[in-house]
């Protein structure tokens, strides 16, 4: 008995012993992940901030450069085109597409959550079809849309011509009256599935008993969705709105691949302007300053947005 007790004590001592105090072990476990994140995310961000305060050319990277303070920010803010690029980024590319994605995404999610698809066991099929745009690479999606919108051979113009609605093909991507509608259509088509699937998952987590009780009490489907479904979806809507806004505001792919900021600078956004200043005009310091300004704008937006949501949550509680 004495031997067993001493052996058990040694075993328990080995389990509780270690190189670190128990209070520090959780931090040691997450330290490798923190170092990886710091290397791949914090490191480049800090380097970009450092470049924004230097007079750097694309051919001078890696060398000691002259520190110019806020001169790059002054040059960017006082130079031409920044206000128009900010308006295009904030309104034409972000606000319009985020609002439309939320509306279309919620409507499609409610439609896909209908009992008819479950009754005919078609849920897997419709979800797979919805995901097709999202699994398509953005480069391929833009290339396909450029072919569809081609003024001479595009399927859209051929359809309009065959219906007699137009007399000649419309150059959607080179006409100022149609170019933003075309870009927004590409972006919404490619990014909408994320919103749909997220809302669909949230709808399926709502207890069916709540809806059935409301139907027994005489509530219509419209009342069920406005008074039960939408209030329960508010946290998901808030997160989806924040994520899609940040992703869209920083997006570079759609405008650059579709128009390269044209016609002229009509569709120039902050991301394409940053690229043009850095890698076409070789003014890397000013391009880095634009990147820092974009980060500050999104940080202010995210902080204010979350602060408003937190205040509303406390008021509701």
Every domain of the chain and the residues it spans? 88-267
Task: For residue 289, give both structure tokens.
Answer: 């300053």
| Neighbouring-strand partners of residue 283 | 57
Q: Options 1.10.230.10, 1.10.3720.10, 1.10.1660.10, 3.40.640.10; which CATH number does 88-267 get?
A: 1.10.3720.10
| pLDDT higher at 204 or 15 | 204
The answer to which of 4-8, 99-103, 144-148 has the lowest mean pLDDT is 4-8
Which range has the worst mean pLDDT, 57-71, 161-175, 248-262, 265-279? 57-71
Q: What is the pLDDT of residues 59-90, one digit of tens each?
A: 776 666 788 989 999 999 998 889 999 999 99
pLDDT at 128: 80
Q: Average of pLDDT values for 177-203?
A: 94
Q: How confident is the model at residue 44 (pLDDT cuts 50, 70, 90)?
A: confident
> d(Cα 237, Cα 230) in Å, to the nearest integer?
9
pLDDT tops 90 at residue 251: yes
Alpha carbon distance 57, 155 (integer Å): 44
Q: What angle do CA 131, 254, 143 make, to 5 degrees?
A: 70
Percentage of the residues of the chain whose pLDDT score is greater than 70: 90
Angle (CA) 294-298-304 rounded to 5° is 150
Q: State yes or no: cis peptide before 106, omega within 30 of 0.
A: no
Q: Taking the CB of residue 310, how many other CB atoms lie within 10 A of it? A: 10
3-class DSSP assignment, residue 283 = strand
228 confidence band (pLDDT: 50, 70, 90)? confident
- Residue pair 194/138 in contact (Cβ under 8 Å)? The answer is no
Cα–Cα distance measured from residue 134 to residue 93, given in angstroms and rounded to the nearest whole number: 18
Q: Which residues contact 116 (CB under 8 A, 6 or more apart)?
A: none
Element of type H or E holding 185: helix 179-204
Residue-level pLDDT at 256: 96
In this prediction, residue 188 carries a pLDDT of 96
> If you average pLDDT over each of 11-25, 118-132, 251-265, 298-312, which comes out highest?
251-265
């Amino acid at each position: 008995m004495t031997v067993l007790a001493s052996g058990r004590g040694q075993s328990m001592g080995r389990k509780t012993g270690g190189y670190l105090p128990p209070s520090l072990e959780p931090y040691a476990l997450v330290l490798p992940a923190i170092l990886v994140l710091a290397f791949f995310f914090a490191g480049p961000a800090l380097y970009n901030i450092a470049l924004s305060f230097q007079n750097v050319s694309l051919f001078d990277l890696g060398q000691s450069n002259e520190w110019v303070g806020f001169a790059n920010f002054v040059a960017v803010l006082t130079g031409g085109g920044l206000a128009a690029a900010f308006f295009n980024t904030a309104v034409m590319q972000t606000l319009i597409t985020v609002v439309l994605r939320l509306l279309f995404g919620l409507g499609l999610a409610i439609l896909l959550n209908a009992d008819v698809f479950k009754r005919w066991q078609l849920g897997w099929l419709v979800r797979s079809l919805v995901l097709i745009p999202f699994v398509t690479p953005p480069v391929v999606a833009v290339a396909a849309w450029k072919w569809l919108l081609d003024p001479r051979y595009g399927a859209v113009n051929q359809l309009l011509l065959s219906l007699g609605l137009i007399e000649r093909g419309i150059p959607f991507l080179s006409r100022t009256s149609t170019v933003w509608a075309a870009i927004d259509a590409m972006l919404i088509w490619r990014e909408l599935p994320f919103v749909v699937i997220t809302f669909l998952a949230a709808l399926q987590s709502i207890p069916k008993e709540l809806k059935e009780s409301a139907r027994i009490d005489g509530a219509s489907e419209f009342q069920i969705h406005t008074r039960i479904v939408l209030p329960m979806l508010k946290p998901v809507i808030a997160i989806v709105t924040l994520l899609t806004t940040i992703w869209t505001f920083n997006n570079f792919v759609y405008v650059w691949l579709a128009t390269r900021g044209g016609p002229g600078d009509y569709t120039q956004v902050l991301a394409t302007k940053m690229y043009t200043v850095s890698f076409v005009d070789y003014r890397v310091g000013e391009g880095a300053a634009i990147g820092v300004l974009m980060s500050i704008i999104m940080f202010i937006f995210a902080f204010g947005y979350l602060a408003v949501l937190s205040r509303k949550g406390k008021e509701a509680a």
